[in-house]
Structure 1
Amino acid sequence: MRVHQAYRYALDPTPEQARLPASHCGAARFAFNWGLARIKAAMNQRAAEQSYGIADEVLTEVPWSLYSLRRAWNAAKDTAAPWWAENSKEAYNTGLDGVTRAVKNWAASRKGARAGKKIGFPRFKSKHRALLSCRFTTGTIRVEAGRRQVTLPRLGTIRTHESTRKLARHLERRTGRILSATVRREGGRWFVAFTCEIDRTDRTDRTPAKPDAVVGVDLGVKDLAVLSTGEVIANPRHHRSALKRLRRLNKQLARRVGPRTPDGGRRQASARWAKTKGALGKAHARVANQRRDGLHKLTTRLAATYGTVVIEDLNVSGMLANRSLARAVADVGMAEVRRQLSYKTGWSGGGLVVADRWFPSSKTCSGCGAVKAKLALSERDHSCTECGLVLDRDLNAARNLAALAAGVAQSCGETVNARGGAISPAVRARPAPAKRELPPGRTLPRQRGGSLALTENH
């Protein structure tokens, strides 16, 4: 089993070394803007020609492909960027590849061929707001034997803050190879992420500690997660804990601006403004790192303990549209929990079941299966009028999720554990009748990739 896995390390460059990745990222931004300007000019020329009734076969072509943009860049780089030789060619390829993907995604979204929200036309990247990133796919990319340094093309050998032993062991055993390296600046620090192809054949026989156990996980804002076993994982609320400092830094940032330009235009950024902006970025990065660390620990424990993990298909984007709940929902990271479980369950030899979005997990009584017509969000306990069961609504929902997965597995006679795949495919379970039995004429066949889906026989 071969998987693509990323290894990310914080870099510790010297002041002289730090200028090199900044220069490469700036070159990538320049190439992005150059390619976008060329595409926009060609599109405007083509639109003008169409307005004059020129035949389609002789209209100006729009260079959307990476190949055409690279050819045009190589022909124009001596005049467009006389300093181009100071950076690796991979820096310019990063920018051209980025603008190509952005325009293609915009075109696919415009035609309705791309799922999700509509994507706007790409905009030029500002020097002050753009994300600093550069990707290397060729050249000398390696982890040094001392496991405290990495070597990148044109950047040389740079020390890392942490040991690279996990990746180094795969490279030494020849169970992994580096495909690319991406240098990125976040929160005032430089990071390098190695995208690797890892051979996990020696781990295909791994099983969770409880391979036959099914656990339902109800994610929420009051508590991060409530398990069907009764365990409650508290919500650490990292963003709320740092909100006072974030507000103070935002106010400082708004005040610390320099004088207006001589012609009375926009205010210039002062040195203190730049310093405060860096502090604000570090504060946000700290919150994100704390949240990511907690979610990784939770999902790793769930995948390593239970054979089947059941979660709901939550409409996170819809929750974020609620202004009163958006901040609290974003602080939880519900979508990130699902993303991590989707591959960790496969690596641990288990499976992930995703309940249908409209499955009434909170309204259904976990004791008798009766479904309430309404259950207000303010009602924290589920009180069943049929059997008299009174239970916390989150625990009740988690038990229903676990029962749903157990019922689906029993009715179709197949296990929902997905093994042997590169990434464990999520099983989408739809709500069955109260007795957990499938209606006549319906089966749950094994689909391509090991997933289970509810279909009708005709």
Structure 2
Amino acid sequence: MVQAYRFALDPNATQEHALRSHCGAARAAYNWAVGWVTASWWQRRAEESYGIGEAGLTQWRPWSLPALRKAFNEAKHTDPRFAAWWEENSKEAYSTGLANASAAFDNYAKSKNGKRRGKRMGAPRFKSKRKARLACRFTTGVIHVDAGGRHVTLPRLGTIRTHEPTVKLLARVQAGTARILSATVRHERGRWFVSFQAEVKRDLEPVARPDVAVGIDLGVKTLAVMADSTGEIRTIANPGHHDRARKQLRRASRVVSRRQGPDRRTGQKPSKRWEKANAARNKVHHRVANLRADALHKLTTAVAAEYGTVVVEDLNVAGMLRNRRLARRIADAGFGEIRRQLTYKTRQRHATRTIAADRWYPSSKTCSGCGAVKAKLPLHVRTYQCDACGLVIDRDDNAALNLAALAAAATTGTGVAGDQDTQSVSKPRGVDQKTRATRPRRKAEAGRAGGATLPHQRQTEARDRTQAEALTLW
């Protein structure tokens, strides 16, 4: 299997300058490739406006990686943007930018032709020197972990000391059970990191309870409620790392606001005191991010090592983040990261399975005892009371039990905790994906009769007009 090993670096001033130079070279090569390819697009558009036929138009420039490398190698000797300094960096830095540009154009073409899932992507744009993430990938040359376990060697960068021991990867390399494929350096959270992509030979780790399935209901007040197929329910409290640090962040931000910061409009440079205060504020942000990542990794590792089947929800996290009242807490919980980690840890480490419940599956509205489905269940109602069998249970516990039942429903049941022996159906208890109207019927009829438009109708009409204009422009 292919596995990544990431280590923090402690470069000196000279090495940090070289790292930034390589990452800047990757960004410059990316911008060159974007400009070189799109120049033919604009040229063809101008020629078409002059009435030139298809046969006389400028040829399309290819964006495959071999074509970009060939064109860049011809241009770097004469282009004033590269001629004076391109020899200072490894060729892998420029190859990184060209490979990223090629992938960006491929994704854009597939998205435009309907061959790529997800949000529609636009044409690649230039990367800003101020906002671009510093990263560079090495695939050839001297790439290895030193025998002492405290240094790594990279092409043109030489030997760099690591902040933490590299014995995990070094032991496997020396034993012959790992082979390093590539290395990526990245500046993240105020530090430099190196990630080794290695081909590792490792045995699958057996789970503690292979015949038990667990359903995980994620939330804000409680991070996760886990209910397994045996009926055991466990609750994982939400650490709330960002909420704990808000007071410290407010204080640090107040100090930054009282210093002389940068101003791009007037060209004003930040003062030394502003840079020092901004670094102190960023340190708090980085600590919160590190604590969150550590907690999520510990949670997902423990779950993947215990259960044979894990059932999670297919949450619309991007849509949930649009709620301005809950966005901060949802982002702090890391719903999407939990599902991502569970997916690869169960598949690669233990060869178990992860099931994603359908986004429209009513896990909270369905009774885990008899399977009855409520028409409505507002978010503020935290206790589920079944009108059919009289079951009274916590809302999150009920949802977790129904999610755990989906593991058995894949072959025998309906996805209801108390009804796992019936024939499987695609829509339990006749539930569909339609949302019932919540506005009173009299107001709707009055609006239609009087010819007036309601607020939600005006929003719908404005949205339709915007989409029509966008399609016309496209």
Q: TM-score under structure 2 normalisation?
A: 0.82
Secondary structure of 2:213's aligned partner? strand
Q: By how many angstroms is 1:112 displaced?
A: 2.8
Q: 1:317 to 1:161 in 2, by over 3 A?
A: same
After superposition, residues 117-266 of structure 1 pair within 5 angstroms as 117-200=119-202, 202-203=203-204, 206-228=205-227, 229-257=232-260, 265-266=266-267
Q: 1:432 to 1:358 in 2, by over 3 A?
A: farther
In structure 2, what residue type is equivalent to 1:235? N
**1:432/1:438 contact within 8 Å kept:** no
Q: By how many angstroms is 1:258 displaced?
A: 5.4
Higher relative contact order (CA 8 A, sep 6+): 1
Q: 1:255 to 1:31 in 2, by over 3 A?
A: farther
| Range moving further from structure 2, 207-216 or 123-132 | 123-132
- Which residue pairs with 1:380 in the alignment? 382
Q: 1:407 to 1:111 in 2, by over 3 A?
A: closer
Q: 1:343 to 1:30 in 2, by over 3 A?
A: same
Q: Work out the CA distance in 1 between the residues paired with 2:398 and 2:39.
A: 59
After superposition, residues 377-456 of structure 1 pair within 5 angstroms as 377-410=379-412, 437-438=422-423
- Which residue pairs with 1:422 in the alignment? none
Q: Work out the CA distance in 1 between the residues paired with 2:417 and 2:309.
A: 18
- Which residue pairs with 1:445 in the alignment? none
**2:135/2:184 contact within 8 Å kept:** yes
- Which residue pairs with 2:325 in the alignment? 324
- Which residue pairs with 1:45 in the alignment? 43
In structure 2, what residue type is equivalent to 1:294? A
**1:370/1:434 contact within 8 Å kept:** no
**2:367/2:416 contact within 8 Å kept:** no
Q: By how many angstroms is 1:403 displaced?
A: 1.7
Secondary structure of 2:312's aligned partner? strand
Q: Work out the CA distance in 2 between the residues paired with 1:259 and 1:408.
A: 58
In structure 2, what residue type is equivalent to 1:315? N
- Which residue pairs with 2:104 in the alignment? 102
CA deviation string 1:37-57 (max 9, x = no partner): 222322211211222333334
Q: 1:436 to 1:117 in 2, by over 3 A?
A: farther
Q: TM-score under structure 1 normalisation?
A: 0.85
Q: Work out the CA distance in 1 between the residues paired with 2:130 and 2:425.
A: 62
Q: By how many angstroms is 1:63 displaced?
A: 3.5
Q: Work out the CA distance in 2 between the residues paired with 1:439 and 1:409.
A: 7
CA deviation string 1:207-228 (max 9, x = no partner): 2111111111111111110011
**2:34/2:101 contact within 8 Å kept:** yes
Q: Work out the CA distance in 2 between the residues paired with 1:267 and 1:350.
A: 57
CA deviation string 1:375-421 (max 9, x = no partner): 1100111111222221111111111111221233446xxxxxxxxxx
Q: By how many angstroms is 1:189 displaced?
A: 1.0
After superposition, residues 83-102 of structure 1 pair within 5 angstroms as 83-102=85-104
Q: 1:366 to 1:56 in 2, by over 3 A?
A: same
- Which residue pairs with 1:56 in the alignment? 54
Secondary structure of 2:239's aligned partner? coil
Q: 1:296 to 1:279 in 2, by over 3 A?
A: same
**1:216/1:309 contact within 8 Å kept:** yes
Q: Work out the CA distance in 1 between the residues paired with 2:261 and 2:350.
A: 55
Q: Work out the CA distance in 1 between the residues paired with 2:217 and 2:261.
A: 49
Q: Work out the CA distance in 2 between the residues paired with 1:138 and 1:182.
A: 12
- Which residue pairs with 1:313 in the alignment? 314
Q: Work out the CA distance in 2 between the residues paired with 1:70 and 1:405.
A: 49
CA deviation string 1:34-89 (max 9, x = no partner): 22222232221121122233333443222422222212211121233121111101
Q: 1:188 to 1:435 in 2, by over 3 A?
A: closer
- Which residue pairs with 2:9 in the alignment? 11
User: Which runs of no fewer than 5 residues in structure 1 stay unpaired?
Assistant: 412-428, 443-458
Q: Which structure's CA Rg is the greater one?
A: 2
In structure 1, what residue type is equivalent to 2:319? G
- Which residue pairs with 2:335 in the alignment? 334
**2:217/2:312 contact within 8 Å kept:** yes
Which of residues 22, 25, 34 is equivalent to 1:24?
22
Q: Work out the CA distance in 2 between the residues paired with 1:214 and 1:248.
A: 46
**1:187/1:278 contact within 8 Å kept:** no
**2:404/2:417 contact within 8 Å kept:** no
Q: Work out the CA distance in 1 between the residues paired with 2:163 and 2:32.
A: 35
Q: By how many angstroms is 1:436 displaced?
A: 5.2
Q: By how many angstroms is 1:439 displaced?
A: 5.4
User: Which runs of no fewer than 5 residues in structure 2 stay unpaired?
Assistant: 428-474
Q: By how many angstroms is 1:104 displaced?
A: 2.6
Give aligned-pair identity as a percent: 56
Q: Work out the CA distance in 2 between the residues paired with 1:92 and 1:370.
A: 60
Q: 1:260 to 1:144 in 2, by over 3 A?
A: closer
CA deviation string 1:125-162 (max 9, x = no partner): 22222211111000000011111111100111111111
Instruction: Tell me how many residue pairs correspond in the alignment.
Output: 418
Q: 1:325 to 1:384 in 2, by over 3 A?
A: same
Q: Work out the CA distance in 2 between the residues paired with 1:243 and 1:405.
A: 40
Q: By how many angstroms is 1:366 displaced?
A: 1.2
- Return structure 1 stretches of 4+ with deviation > 6 angstroms: 429-433
Q: By how many angstroms is 1:282 displaced?
A: 3.1
**1:320/1:330 contact within 8 Å kept:** yes
